Amino acid sequence: MRSALRSPVLAFLVCLSITSGGFGSAYNARPKLVVIVVIDQFRGDYLERYRDQWGEGGFRLFLDHGANFSDCNYDYANTRTAPGHATLLTGTYSNGHGIMANEWWDPEKKRRVSSVEDEATKLVGISSPGPGASPHNLLADTLGDELKLATQGKSRVFGVALKDRAAILPAGFAGDGAYWIDQKTGTWITSTYYRPGLPKWAQDFNDSKRVEKYLNQDWKDNDGKVLRSTKPVDGRAGSFYELVGATPFANDYEFEFAKELITYEKLGNGPATDLLVVSLSANDILGHKVGPDSPEMQAMALAMDRQLANFFEFLGHQMGLANVWIALSADHGVAPVPAVAAKLRLPAASISVDKMRTQVNSALSSRFARTAEYVREIDYPLAWLNSDSFAAAKVKEEDGERAVGEALKQAGMRGYYTRSQLERGDAPNTETGLKYLHSYSPLGGWYVLGVPVPYTVGVSSGTDHASPYTYDTHVPLAFYGLPFQPGTYRSHAEPVDLAATLASLLGINAPSHAIGRVLTEALPASRRVSNSPRGSEREERSMPSVEGRGFQQGAVRDFSVGNNFPASSLAAAVPKRDLPVAEGSR
Ligand SMILES: [Zn+2]
């Protein structure tokens, strides 16, 4: 073997097959780091809506120098935060990963439980009597888990978000750490699932009182108009999450923490590819209050553009952007505020969930001739049932759920799917039917998924998401990095494709339940050495049809050079224009 490798021809062939057979190699730290930026509540249309206003190096890194999939939609109905984050990293939907809601009714505990709370663990970083958190409810593994498996733990995997579920689910089972904040104080915390105490750098971060920098501040637009204040109202101590969380300051705070993590955990310095998932929560916290069409959301998006540019510049300085792949997506979109849509004569409305629950319970009480609380909670448009009430009325699950579904229709829903029906895989062979099959999870008790009327939301003020409609399912999906051919791709894409694509490019197994496809149209023509008599003849697929300023001969040529260079030369091979560094700021 040793002498064989000394043969220059064989060595050349081996080298060629390594560099061209796979676009990266997690085993050899190519790239050094994969960063996945998930924006909590960011609709797919925003990238175009504000395109003219984006600066250099933020979103335009993806639009001008990356592969941007402009038609990416979740193919399920339960467009919530926990399912979205689980979907992106497991590459499957709720029927594969089990997370179908942020919280659900636990019939044994007889209370609502969150998707990540775990009584076998404790929170770390604050003293709390409550349970800690972990990914224990996931029924599928993640991209990070596969990286860890493939490299025997050499890859390091982290998740960061203001929300626990958005940090924990992406980090998977084998993640080295997930960090989120204590909502009241803004302190960064984790769980004993990962480690018994905070690492020194995280403790130092908390001790530096950076929280105070963001409290009692005015967030102003470009004209100096105050959009929002982080002053506690009327002297009442508000929570950091509510006050700072709904401003761009929250993203600054998250990026500061993420940079410390990258620096002190030495991400991108190891023998294998590392993975960091940063979920930016502020967009969602503000978006629920003011809706997608408000000037505040526009200002938030423009601030985020600059914050992303700053973060990518940091990555460039730390390890060279040629050594990083970056993916961008979101966990769900959002509906317009009903009043805004109604002004344009769309049939939009706010549904009173309390009224709906009362109506359903009274309909069932008469139907079963027994007064009870049959529906425990409505997380519009999803209803959690109280199986004890049905048992007392001697009603089986299937009949009970159907009765609730019919009552929900009477109360204004367009239709419904029951838990027992979805468990059997019994849904019409339609696009909508498939979306609901993908929304099924065996976790939680009895439930009914109501099909909402488009543009209706179950909140009394602001707006919401959790429907199967495009305003909730359409999200960005974009990639930046050496393997990706720049351009706008209008082919069908889904968030489940992210994990499948990255796993393939890294040369590792896709997550256990992944159903996504590899987005080959964004990858350059394959070059490989075949075993045929024609030997090293270059095989190329036909060029994909793409649009976009970035897709020029030059871009392709630059890429090809970078891809076929040995890893040590990658940085040198990358054209300078790909570095999102503002003029003079290097
Ligand atoms: Zn969310």
Contact 296, 311 (CB under 8 A): no
- Alpha-carbon separation of residue 106 from 110, 117, 128, 373, 377 (angstroms): 6, 12, 22, 16, 12
Q: Which residue has the higher pLDDT, 552 or 353?
A: 353
Task: Report CA(41)–ligand 1 centroid distance (Å).
Answer: 5
Is pTM, for the whole model, over 0.85? yes
Q: Tell me the pLDDT tens digit for each residue of 451-492.
A: 999 999 999 999 999 999 999 999 999 999 999 999 999 999
The pLDDT score that the predictor gives to residue 235 is: 63
Task: For the chain, give the percent of residues with pLDDT over 70.
Answer: 85
| Placement of tokens 């769980």 in the chain | 191
CA separation for the pair 302, 421 (Å, rounded): 44
CA of 162 to the centre of ligand 1 (A): 11
The candidate with the shortest Cα–Cα distance to 78, out of 331, 281, 384, is 331
Separation of CA 309 and ligand 1 centre (Å): 22
Look at 75-89, 273-287, 565-579 and tell me which has the smallest mean pLDDT: 565-579
Q: How far is CA 286 from CA 35, 155, 226, 412, in A?
A: 24, 35, 15, 28
Whether 401 contacts 418, CB under 8 Å: yes
276-324: pLDDT as tens digits: 999 999 999 999 999 999 999 999 999 999 999 999 999 999 999 999 9
* Residue 567 CA to ligand 1 centre (angstroms): 37
Residue 200 structure tokens:
């020194």
- Which backbone phi and psi does 132 adopt, to 5 degrees? -85, -155
- Compute, in angstroms, the gap from residue 351 CA to the centroid of ligand 1: 20
pLDDT the model gives residue 526: 62
Q: What pLDDT score was predicted for residue 576?
A: 34
Residue among 438, 440, 401 nearest 418 (CA):
401
Tokens 């940079």 -> residue: 259
Q: Give the distance (Å) from ligand 1 centre to CA of residue 412.
A: 25
- Segments of 381-486 assigned E as strands: 382-385, 415-418, 447-451, 456-457, 474-480
- Residues of the chain with pLDDT > 90: what percent? 83
Which of 524, 485, 517 is closest to 501 using CA atoms?
A: 517
The alpha carbon of 435 and the centre of ligand 1 are apart by a number of angstroms equal to 18
Instruction: Work out whether the CA dihedral 91, 94, 97, 99 comes out positive or negative.
Output: positive
Q: Which residue has the tokens 């997380």?
A: 379
Q: How far apart are the C-alpha atoms of 90 and 85, rounded to whole Å? A: 9
Neighbours of 53 (CB within 10 A): 11
**C-alpha 280 to ligand 1 mean position (Å):** 9
Q: Return the pLDDT at 524.
A: 84
Neighbours of 532 (CB within 10 A): 9
Q: What would the two tokens of residue 104 be?
A: 């659900």
Average predicted confidence (pLDDT) for the chain: 88
- Sign of the dihedral through C-alpha 265, 268, 270, 275: positive
The pLDDT tens digits of the residues spanning 209-264 come to: 999 999 999 999 888 999 999 998 876 668 999 999 999 999 999 999 999 999 99
Residue 249: CB partners within 8 Å, gap ≥ 6?
Answer: 214, 217, 219, 230
CA of 288 to the centre of ligand 1 (A): 10
pLDDT, tens only, 401-431: 999 999 999 999 999 999 999 999 999 999 9
Which residues make Cβ contacts (< 8 Å) with residue 6, sequence separation at least 6?
none
The Cα–Cα gap between 336 and 339 comes to 8
Say how far apart CA 25 and CA 29 lie, in whole Å.
Answer: 6
Give the residue from 507, 486, 586 showing the smallest Cα distance to 31: 507
168 pLDDT exceeds 80? yes
